[in-house]
Structure 1
Amino acid sequence: MTDTAAIADLSFEDALKRLEAIVHRLESGEASLEESIALYTEGAALRAKCEERLQSAQARIEKITLGPDGAPRGTVAFDAG
């Protein structure tokens, strides 16, 4: 089992791999009730971390464009250069 601090240190790819392993273990039906609860809790934390990282990445590559009236028109690719 991975604790919260360890989850924070995982790369997106490693977190996703661990989440896939948890789903496989839960779907196999081989885990005890206690293990299933622990796996579900860890999986929820991993899912939240992956979602947070995806949203962060999206925010870095897109920015909202505003029209002349200040209302959002849509998003465009972020140009860091």
Structure 2
Amino acid sequence: MTDKAERVSGPGDGLSYEQARAELASVVERLEAGGTSLEESLALWERGERLAEICQGWLDGARQRIDTVRQARETAQN
């Protein structure tokens, strides 16, 4: 695996939403630019998939928190 591909497969969990989103944007940019080997492209794609999962997890958690607060407010008002 190339040095660039190894850097792509760094830590995943523990990233904030903003960190994961920024890295995902960078991965997409690199894939769209082309000029990478097949192996590096696959590593980038795999990293992008993982970053997308991390972002979705953050968004799902935020939605759940909002729903919980709304539900508590509705219960308190009734």
Q: TM-score, normalised by structure 1?
A: 0.72
Give 1:33's match in structure 2, choosing from 11, 24, 38: 38
Question: 2:9, 2:43 within 8 Å by CA — same for their partners in 1?
Answer: no
Question: 1:61, 1:79 within 8 Å by CA — same for their partners in 2?
Answer: no
Which structure is higher in strand share?
A: 1
Which structure is higher in helix share?
A: 2
- Which structure 2 residue ranges, 5 or more long, are not aligned? 1-7, 74-78
Deviation at 1:25, TM superposition (A): 0.2
Q: Does 1:77 align with 2:65?
A: no
RMSD over aligned CA atoms reads: 1.9
State the secondary structure of the residue aligned to 2:13.
Answer: helix
Q: TM-score, normalised by structure 2?
A: 0.75
**RCO greater where, 1 or 2, for CA within 8 Å and sep 6 or more?**
2
Task: Give the letter aligned to residue 17 of structure 1.
Answer: A
Percent identity over paired residues: 38
